[in-house]
């Protein structure tokens, strides 16, 4: 189906979302993070921080983004750049939680985005979904243009729930389409159980690479797309 087409797979980024009902957005500020040893002293902000009672945001020059809004503290880190060879976000958030040990950590959402690019074929991603993941039928040819599929899946895993969305996208260069891509957006939901919450949230954060490997296994070995 896509024989002869160059394909590349990359894990683009990771987002962690911590549910903390008694966390307040102003707690997230650059001075506190450096003073508490959460962020290395040499890190510099890429833009002016945002800090209000409703929300706070810090964007660092290395691409890490920290955001507090309502009862959610989150962080985002790019994973497809040379600077991301050794991801740092999970350990940063572990240090943040240890700096605030008495907060009520309720759960963690880990969001990973895996992208498969088909170079030189602007329709390969759509064909992959239609031919490999969907049953053939006239319903695929309804209307004046090729059907554009988006699929959603939910998986009950041993200690978490994985929600997965599969969608296609165009790869563009200077406004011109030069290829296509499949985007796998996976979201793992974990809930903190009874007992001491801090060790549980710490283990969840440090175990994120296992969830990344689960998602890659699902894509390459179960969907057989790589």
Cα–Cα distance, 211 to 187 (Å, whole number): 10
Question: What are the angstrom distances between the C-alpha of 135 and each of 128, 129, 140, 150?
Answer: 12, 10, 9, 14
How much is the pLDDT for 3? Answer: 58
Cα–Cα distance, 120 to 131 (Å, whole number): 19
How much is the pLDDT for 1? Answer: 47
**Per mean pLDDT, which range of 4-8, 125-129, 150-154, 176-180 is the poorest?**
4-8
Q: Is the pLDDT of residue 172 over 50?
A: yes
Cα–Cα distance, 123 to 42 (Å, whole number): 45
Q: Where are the domains of the chain?
A: 7-18+105-194+207-222
Q: Predicted confidence band at 173 (pLDDT cuts at 50, 70, 90)?
A: confident
At 24-45, the pLDDT tens digits run 999 999 999 999 999 999 999 9
How much is the pLDDT for 2? Answer: 54
Cα–Cα distance, 129 to 127 (Å, whole number): 5
Cα–Cα distance, 132 to 220 (Å, whole number): 13
At 77-103, the pLDDT tens digits run 999 987 777 899 999 999 999 999 999
Cα–Cα distance, 14 to 206 (Å, whole number): 13
Tokens of 165: 């969305």
pTM over 0.85? The answer is: yes
Percent share of the chain, pLDDT over 70: 98
- List the alpha helices (DSSP H) in 16-164: 30-35, 89-99, 124-128
Cβ burial of 217 (10 Å; 0-12, 13-18, 19+) is: exposed
């Amino acid at each position: 189906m896509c024989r002869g087409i160059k394909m590349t797979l990359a894990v683009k980024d990771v987002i962690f979302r911590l549910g903390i009902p008694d966390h307040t957005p102003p707690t997230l500020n650059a001075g506190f993070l450096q003073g508490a040893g959460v962020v290395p002293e040499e890190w510099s902000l890429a833009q002016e921080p945002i800090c209000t009672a409703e929300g706070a945001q810090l964007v660092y020059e290395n691409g890490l983004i920290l955001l507090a809004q309502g009862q959610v503290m989150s962080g985002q880190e790019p994973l497809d750049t040379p600077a991301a060879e050794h991801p740092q976000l999970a350990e940063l958030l572990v240090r943040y939680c240890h700096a605030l040990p008495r907060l009520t950590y309720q759960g963690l959402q880990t969001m990973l985005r895996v992208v498969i690019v088909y170079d030189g074929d602007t329709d390969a991603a759509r064909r992959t979904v239609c031919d490999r993941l969907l049953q053939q039928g006239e319903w695929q040819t309804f209307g004046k243009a090729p059907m554009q599929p988006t699929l959603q899946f939910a998986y009950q895993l041993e200690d978490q729930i994985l929600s997965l969305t599969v969608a296609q996208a165009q790869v563009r260069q200077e406004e011109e389409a030069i290829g296509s891509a499949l985007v796998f957006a996976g979201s793992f939901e974990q809930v903190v159980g009874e007992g001491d919450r801090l060790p549980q949230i710490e283990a969840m954060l440090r175990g994120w690479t296992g969830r990344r490997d689960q998602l890659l296994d699902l894509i390459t070995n179960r969907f057989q797309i790589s």
